[in-house]
Structure 1
Amino acid sequence: MAIVRMNMMNKTKSALAEAGIVSITAKDCLGRGKGLIDLNLLKGAEKGYEEAISQLGQSSRLIPKRALIIVVPQKLVDKTVKTIIRVNQTGKSGDGMIFVSPSMDAIRVRTGERGNDALDDA
C-alpha cells in the first residue's frame, strides 16, 4: 500500500505501468503525517485546548491523498517500491508512505486462478 500526493497519481500510475506493474487499485483518502507540526500542540489540540488549536492553524487539517493498493509477486516488490519512490520523492514533507505487507493468497474471481498465477507477472 502506498499513500501519495493527489497530483502525483498519474505520474505514479504511468511509471508503474512502464515497469510492468499494471494492476492497481486507488482510493481517495485524507491524512497527514507528523511533518513539521509541534507534537505538543497537536496533543493539546486533541484534548480540546483552544490555544493549541488556534496555534495549529491549517496544519492539523487532513490533506487529500491517494491510497494505492498494489499486490505483486514477491520478486516484484523491490521494483514496485523503487518505482513509487523514484516518482514521488521530492525531499519535502508529504512525499508519502509505503507499507509492505505479505499477502496470504490472491484469487482471480473471473478464472479462479490462485496465488502468483492470479497476479500480474512483469
Structure 2
Amino acid sequence: MKEIIAVVRMNMMNRTKQALTDAGVDAFFANEAQGRGKGLVDSKVLEGAGAGYEEAVELLGERGKLYSKRIVTAVVPTEDVDDVVKAIVAANKTGKPGDGKIFVVPVGDAVRVRTGETGAASIV
C-alpha cells in the first residue's frame, strides 16, 4: 500500500476528483492549505528580509505570500500508484509554476475501524 499526497490548485479540484474516480480511487481526503513553491521566492532576498533589510522586505512583495491550495490524500494498492499519479498529473498539468506536487509514501498497515479488516482488505 502507498499513500499518495497531492498538492493541487484550488481551481483544479473538480478535475482532480474526476481523475481519481476515473482511476478507480473513490475514497480520498481533501484539505485546504496555503503554501508556495521555492521557485516563487529568491532565496537571497528572503535571507535579506530575514536579516531585517527593509529593501529586501519590499522586494518580496507578492512573491512572499502564501497561495491557497488543496491537499488530496489517498491510500492505494502499490500496483495502482503509477496509474493514479499519471491521472493526477494529467488533470493538473498546465506547464506553469504552481501546478502542484505529488508525494508517494509507503504505508505499513491500515485498519478499517468498522470491521477490523487490516492491510489491503481495509482499503478496497
Q: TM-score, normalised by structure 2?
A: 0.92
Is 1:3 aligned to 2:7, yes or no? yes
How far apart are 1:49 and its partner, in Å? 2.2
| Structure 2 letter corresponding to 1:98 | I
Q: In the TM superposition, what is the alpha-carbon distance from 1:48 to its structure 2 partner?
A: 3.0
Q: Does 1:108 align with 2:108?
A: no
Residue aligning to 2:68: 64
CA RMSD of aligned residues (A): 1.1
2:91 to 81, 87, 91: 87
Q: CA deviation at 1:34?
A: 1.3
- Structure 2, unpaired ranges of 5+: none
The residue aligned with 2:122 is 118
Q: Name segments (4+ residues, structure 1) moved above 6 Å.
A: none
The residue identity in structure 2 corresponding to 1:42 is L
List per-residue Cα deviations over 1:54-104 (Å, max 9, x = no partner): 011111111010011111010111111111111111111000001111001
Q: Does 1:51 align with 2:63?
A: no
Q: Does 1:41 align with 2:45?
A: yes
What residue number does 1:16 align with? 20
Residue by residue over 1:13-62, the C-alpha shift from the partner in whole angstroms, topping out at 9 and shown as x without a partner, is: 01110111111101101100012432211222233322111011111111
TM-score, normalisation: structure 1: 0.93
Report the secondary structure of 1:70's partner residue. strand
Identity of aligned residues (%): 52
